[in-house]
Amino acid sequence: MGLAGGQEAMEQDDGGLHQALHGDPALLTQPIKTVQDKFQLLPAFLQVRGLVKQHIDSFNYFINHEIKKIVKANERVTCDTDPNFFLKYTAIYVGLPSVEEDMVTKDITPQQCRLRDITYAAPISVDIEYTRGKEIVVKKGSNGRGAISIGRIPLMLRCDRCVLYNKSEPQLAKLGECPLDPGGYFVVRGTEKVILIQEQLSKNRIIIDTDSHNDIVASVTSSTHERKSKTNIVMSKGKLYLKHNAFSDDVNMVAVLKAMGAEADQEVMQLAGNDETLSALLVPTIQDCKSHKVFTQAQALEFLGNKIRPSPMSFGKVRRKSKVDEARDILANVVVCHVPVVRYNFQQKVMYMAVMIRRMLLAVLDPSFIDDRDYYGNKRLELAGGLMSLLFEDLFKRLNTDLKRQADITLSKANRASQFDVAKCIRTDTITYGLENSLSSGNWTIKRFRMERKGVTQVCGMLSPADTSIWQPSILPSLHPTSLAGAEQVSGPRALHPSQWGMLCPADTPEGESCGLVKNLALMTHVTTDEEEALMTRCLFMLGVEPITAMAPCELHTRGAACVFLNGLLLGLHRRPHKLVQVIRDMRRRGYVGEFVHVHLQGDACYFSCDGGRVCRPLIICDKGVPRVKQEHITNLISGKWGFNDFLRHGLIEYLDVNEENVSLIALYEQHCTPSTTHLEIEPFTIMGVVSGLIPFPHHNQSPRNTYQCAMGKQAMGNIAYNQLNRMDTLLYLLCYPQRPLLTTKTIELINYDKLGAGQNATVAVMSYSGYDIEDAIVMNKASLDRGFGRCIVLKKYGATLRKYANRTTDRIVTPLPLPGQRTPPARFRLLDRDGLAAVGDYIMPGDVYINLQRPTNTARWTRCSRQKCVVDKVQLTCEWQTRCSRSAWWTRCSWRPMMTATTTSSSSSATHGGLSWAISSVAGMGRRAWSATLCARCVRALAPLCV
């Protein structure tokens, strides 16, 4: 936002605050009026943020910025054999969705991809400079398109490259798309895939924990673009050791500090703090260090050098560094690698490790200092864009390695027939198929980053209207349920942690093995994206943070001062931390720093964060317990004058992440506000997620009932989308007479659940204890079933592929011919038209042939229908240019009437509320002959092939 606007807002705020503090005291004591229709903020929020939007935003960030950073970081390809050779990427472009057929590029829509079983993807092209012989070739594209294509990237629907981006409802209808479909998924080989959010432990943060021997451990998972490593400091038998993969053995911590330049024992003591009790705890370690005869930095490096784990790669290397150099390198670049070490100046790292040690020692003295692993502030979420960028980074690097290898081989040959042109060697398959395969299988295997995850993507099956909205907010756990070993199968990570309040849905989790591990976002949750750190760093230094590099060890733990961390990195010290926190908060509310910069003061440390993947949610700010949002603001919102961002801009609402929420006092309702209240909830029902939001009166239910309903709500049958009859899904269940629930919740209206309807309202008589009901079973009125209650249509796809063979023969579809000596073809061919296909409207009986396909060996093949009687609803013929085959698909249809024994499961154990909205969850039994009033003769309808 503009600076002027902020200024204005600030003055306004100050006026209000001034009046509240120094004005008429009677104003303060008058009763707080409840603001009506506060929940209107929720739809406004969902318009700008939330649920599917954050997936799309993260993907947009990836294709617009992240991809450029990745290419920039890996822009140069050189080769070992020819020092003059280079290939340099100067720019990268992601194009618009298209498909190449017969050397012609055509635009494509998602609906076409679904029907034709192809991938909705856009070409990635690059501008390059490279050497060909002795000349330097510069290839530059134009019109937002690079000179050379390096592959195709599947596009997320409704991202800013998608054809559906910013389209109106009629335009969407023209593209064959449902306007209620929120997008956020990919169409890969015809199936709709959604990437689930991944949960991880925070990177670059110190976590104090206990290990299996009940020893205190401080661990840091460092992650930078170059390297990822895990460092542990462990307190074993009263002594501190550094545990790291680079060392074959645990090494004495004091020796490590000495190796990093803190030679004097006094300095080591001061680093941990001038407290006697803390110093006493350090003594055994120092003594142990002494016993190893380590006194100086050189001795310490020597000592560490002997403990370096020989890496398998270093065997072949000719030039080996000395052990001392190697140890120094490891300390500088591998151990706690996210703390920068410039020219072997270890000051910052020493201080950082000192903080680690101090926190450990405090935890030894007082176990309450041990961190809670399951605390949600220690978790980070990874969205679709981030996962895609990881994958792309790996594939791009692989592409470059391939190019290098090719250049190595070709250029090493002395005489070549033609000049080596690297631009012609760029293969598009690596990236295209790499991305496609990962998306369609859900296996994210990236050896480079030691990443091996399965089930990252899910088919968003479109079984029910809310389906796309349902899958989007699911969070996959950091540890897969099957990877939990027996002893670890404790309830800890599965339990609902209090810090998840408002961020994750308390009810929506699957039952069984992944119970509590797979979670779902709440309605108003937002996941942050990375923000520029440098600005924040500068801002903090200007506000009086003393840089850590200009500090003596003894100053580190000055009483009243606090260490200032930014994204887990120790920046320095501030003497008046409370003031600093206050200032930063004020700046955030006025828009001078990002809205997702969060701060919390904990003990003698002040943590600022602006990194990506934190969950946060908006709350109303309170001044001395008086909420800032007043009725007039809501009136502005309802009249459309204000959007959600106006509330942020005027400093009425702010986002809080878990850590900052933890140090705030948040009132649920206005009447609960006290003078110490800092924030007010926007609306209590926003703690629920999308699926649990469909439950009416969830607070009147026993809690597992809500969880069961969350699992079953996804199975509801009804309409799936406006384009449901044109989608040719493999299997589709539709209700003949879907209804909108009589009793809707606000969430239902927000996610348009009522526009499609998934179920029917039933009048249910609940009988006491015994009688006809057997727990969950019900007795149904036959007449109501006769009249259409629970009647459904089942649409099923059958297909056949026509292949082309190497010997230039092809499969073909032909008219059925009569057997020799007979006039008409056999009876089972009765459905086939002259083109050899069954026509729309035909009744298929068991054993009927619906395609007469001939293979080159001249053996006719008949594909048969299922055993059930059904009708041909649609016939589609498509061509696939890449695999050179055409496909035909049949969509058959049959209607089911629920049988009298239809078993239904109702998750509502008691139907005591006024209206019970109830959906038939499952209709078991195939039903008798489906349609009662019908016995059709053959439809005299022409074949209407849907040729795309």
Partner 1 sequence: MGGDKKRSKGLPEYLELQRTHVHCGPDVNKHTTTFTSANVFEPLCIDNSWNLEAFKSDLQIEVNHLDDEVMEFDLIGVDPAIANALRRILLAEVPTVAIEHVFMINNTSIMQDEVLSHRLGLVPLRVDPKLFDFKLAEEAPSEKNTVVFKLDVRCTRQGTRLINDKVTSNMLQWMPAGSQLPEETSCRFTQGQAHLVPSQQEQKGKKFMAPVHEDILLTKLRPGQCIQLEAHAVKGIGKTHAKWSPVATAWYKLLPEVVLLTDDVPESVAKTLLDAAPGLFVRKPDGKLAVTNARHHEKHLEKVRVLLDQEAIAQVVQYRKRKDHFIFTIESTGILPPDVLFEQALSILHDKAEQLANKL
| Residue ranges that bind partner 1, judged by CB under 8 A | 725, 736, 782-784, 786-788, 791, 793, 841, 871, 873, 893-895, 930-937, 939-941
459 or 793: whose CB is closer to partner 1? 793
Non-local CB neighbours of 577 within 8 Å, separated by 6+ positions: 561, 562, 564, 601, 606
Task: Give the SS3 label for residue 243.
Answer: strand
- Strand ranges (DSSP E) for 155-250? 186-188, 191-195, 197-201, 206-210, 216-223, 228-236, 239-244
What's 743's DSSP letter?
A: S
Least CB distance to partner 1 at residue 186 (A): 30
Which pair of tokens denotes residue 574? 């501030």
479 or 936: whose CB is closer to partner 1? 936
What's 692's DSSP letter?
A: G
96 or 725: whose CB is closer to partner 1? 725
Least CB distance to partner 1 at residue 786 (A): 3
Non-local CB neighbours of 23 within 8 Å, separated by 6+ positions: none
193 or 791: whose CB is closer to partner 1? 791
Alpha helices in 530-623 (DSSP H): 533-542, 577-590
The phi and psi torsions of 731 (rounded to 5 degrees) equal -145, 130
Least CB distance to partner 1 at residue 941 (A): 6
Task: Round to whole Å and give the CA distance between 157 and 147.
Answer: 26
788 or 925: whose CB is closer to partner 1? 788
Least CB distance to partner 1 at residue 787 (A): 5
Least CB distance to partner 1 at residue 913 (A): 19
Least CB distance to partner 1 at residue 176 (A): 15
Pairing type for strands 474-476 and 197-201 reads: parallel
861 or 941: whose CB is closer to partner 1? 941
Least CB distance to partner 1 at residue 387 (A): 40
886 or 892: whose CB is closer to partner 1? 892
- Residue by residue, DSSP assigns 463-513 as -STTHHHHHTTEEE-SS-GGG--GGG--SGGGS--GGGTTTB-SS---SST
264 or 944: whose CB is closer to partner 1? 944
Strand partners, 837: 851
Q: How many of the other CB atoms lie within 10 Å of CB of 467?
A: 22
Task: Round to whole Å and give the CA distance between 605 and 601.
Answer: 6
Least CB distance to partner 1 at residue 897 (A): 9
Alpha helices in 551-618 (DSSP H): 577-590
Task: Give the SS3 label for residue 172.
Answer: helix
Least CB distance to partner 1 at residue 894 (A): 8
Least CB distance to partner 1 at residue 503 (A): 43
Alpha helices in 239-346 (DSSP H): 253-259, 265-272, 276-291, 297-305, 323-333
DSSP H or E stretch at residue 432: helix 429-441
Non-local CB neighbours of 490 within 8 Å, separated by 6+ positions: none
Least CB distance to partner 1 at residue 880 (A): 30
Least CB distance to partner 1 at residue 713 (A): 26
552 or 937: whose CB is closer to partner 1? 937
Least CB distance to partner 1 at residue 587 (A): 57
Least CB distance to partner 1 at residue 177 (A): 18
Task: Round to whole Å and give the CA distance between 887 and 881.
Answer: 11
Is the distance from CB of 227 to CB of 495 less than 8 angstroms? no
Q: How many of the other CB atoms lie within 10 Å of CB of 896?
A: 21
Least CB distance to partner 1 at residue 736 (A): 5
787 or 861: whose CB is closer to partner 1? 787
765 or 783: whose CB is closer to partner 1? 783
- Strand ranges (DSSP E) for 52-143? 76-78, 86-94, 98-101, 104-107, 121-132, 135-139
Alpha helices in 591-619 (DSSP H): none
Least CB distance to partner 1 at residue 773 (A): 19
Dihedral over alpha carbons 566, 571, 575, 580 (to 10 degrees): -30
Is the distance from CB of 854 to CB of 834 less than 8 angstroms? no
- Strand ranges (DSSP E) for 678-791? 679-680, 731-735
What's 829's DSSP letter?
A: G
Q: Which of 312, 315, 311 is nearest to 329 (CA)?
A: 311
What's 40's DSSP letter?
A: G
Least CB distance to partner 1 at residue 467 (A): 22
Task: Round to whole Å and give the CA distance between 816 and 470.
Answer: 47
Least CB distance to partner 1 at residue 935 (A): 5
CA 515 to chain centre: 19
- Rg of the chain over all Cα atoms, to the nearest angstrom: 33
449 or 931: whose CB is closer to partner 1? 931
Task: Round to whole Å and give the CA distance between 384 and 391.
Answer: 11
Which pair of tokens denotes residue 152? 């195709």
What's 292's DSSP letter?
A: T
Is the distance from CB of 565 to CB of 606 less than 8 angstroms? yes
What's 515's DSSP letter?
A: T
DSSP H or E stretch at residue 33: none
